[in-house]
Amino acid sequence: MDSILWLIAVIVFVVAEAATTALISIWFAVGAAVALIVSLFTASLPLQFLVFALVSAVALAIMVPMLASRRKGKKTPITNGPTLSVGKRGVVLQAILPGEIGRVRVDGLDWQARAAEALPQGTRCQVLSAEGNVLTVQAAPVEETV
């Protein structure tokens, strides 16, 4: 009878885990599976619950730090925003005076921009950095043709 209890517990924990995107009950499924195995060898329900609790706690203690370290190592890729424009070339749409904001077009998108030097409208520029939604640009070096 105890084996049926633990089998139901394993199924419930696995279904609960499958129904969510977060790891919430897999540790208990592991503990219940081990308790199911123990129930085949002993009828002592307190011993089975002790095994369930210990195995669940050990599974949790092993997996949480391991998952946390993997999560820190993975940084989400930047898929949009001004940081993708760094290093690219564009054209000044609205003249930029030192200390003031102008506008540039980079990769078909218009951005606010600032520059250390005056850049008149139509000047080719290169993006040095991005701070928020404001690009820092400089006059683009002339490309030599061979």
Same domain, 135 and 94: yes
103, with CB counted inside 10 A (0-12, 13-18, 19+), is middle
61 within some domain: yes
Q: Kindly state the tokens that stand for 130.
A: 């991005």
pLDDT digits (tens, 9 = 90+) for 43-100: 898 999 999 999 999 999 998 888 777 777 666 666 566 677 788 999 999 999 998 9
Total domains in the chain come to 2
Contact 23, 17 (CB under 8 A): yes
Domain of 127, in residue numbers: 82-139
The pairs formed by 95-98 with CB atoms below 8 angstroms and a separation of 24 or more are 95/119, 95/120, 95/121, 96/137
111 within some domain: yes
Out of 21, 43, 73, a domain closes at 73
The Cα diameter of the chain in Å comes to: 87
Same domain, 106 and 132: yes
CATH of the domain at 131: 2.40.50.140
Global pTM reads 0.49
